Amino acid sequence: MKTTNPEVEVRLRARCQAGPISYRDYIEVALYAEDCGYYTQAAERVGRSGEHDFYTAESLGRVFAQLVTTAAVDLLSQDQAAKCTFVEIAAEPGTSLLSHLESHPFAAEQVIRQGDAIQTNGSIVIFANEWLDALPFHRLIFREGAWRERGVGLDSEGQLVEVLLEQLTPEVAAVVERLPSHIEDGYELDLPLEAETALAELFAQDWTGLILLFDYGRTWTSLLQDHPSGTARTYKQHAQGNDLLNTPGACDITCDINWTPLMAQLEVAGLQSVTLESQESFLVQRAQRAAETIVSSSAGSFSPDRQTLMQLIHPANMGQRFQVLWGIRA
201 and 84 assigned to the same domain: yes
pLDDT at 52 (0 to 100): 54
Q: Are residues 98 and 142 in the same domain?
A: no
Tell me, what's the pLDDT at 57?
A: 53
Same domain, yes or no, for 269 and 300? yes
What was the pLDDT predicted at 294?
83
Which residues, given as ranges, of the chain have pLDDT below 50? 1-2
Of 227, 250, 273, at which residue does a domain stop?
A: 250
DSSP letter string, 248-261: TTSSEEE--EEHHH
283 and 303 together in one domain: yes
Query: pLDDT for 39-68, tens place per residue?
Result: 888 766 665 555 555 555 555 688 999 999
Can you give the CATH number for the domain in which 288 is found?
Answer: 3.40.50.12710
Q: How many CB atoms lie within 10 A of CB 130?
A: 22
Q: What pLDDT shows up at residue 3?
A: 56
Same domain? For 180 and 240 the reply is yes
Domain enclosing residue 29, as ranges: 1-43+138-191+219-250
Q: Quick one: which of 98, 97, 105 has its CA closest to 81?
A: 105
Residue 38 inside a domain? The answer is yes
Query: What does pLDDT average to over the chain?
Result: 91
Note whether 131 and 150 are same-domain residues.
Answer: no
Q: How many domains does the structure of the chain reveal?
A: 2
> Are 241 and 92 in a shared domain?
no
Whether 120 maps to a domain, the answer reads yes
Does residue 80 belong to any structural domain of this protein? Answer: yes
How far apart (Å, rounded) are the C-alpha atoms in residues 124 and 122? 6
316 with 207, same domain? yes
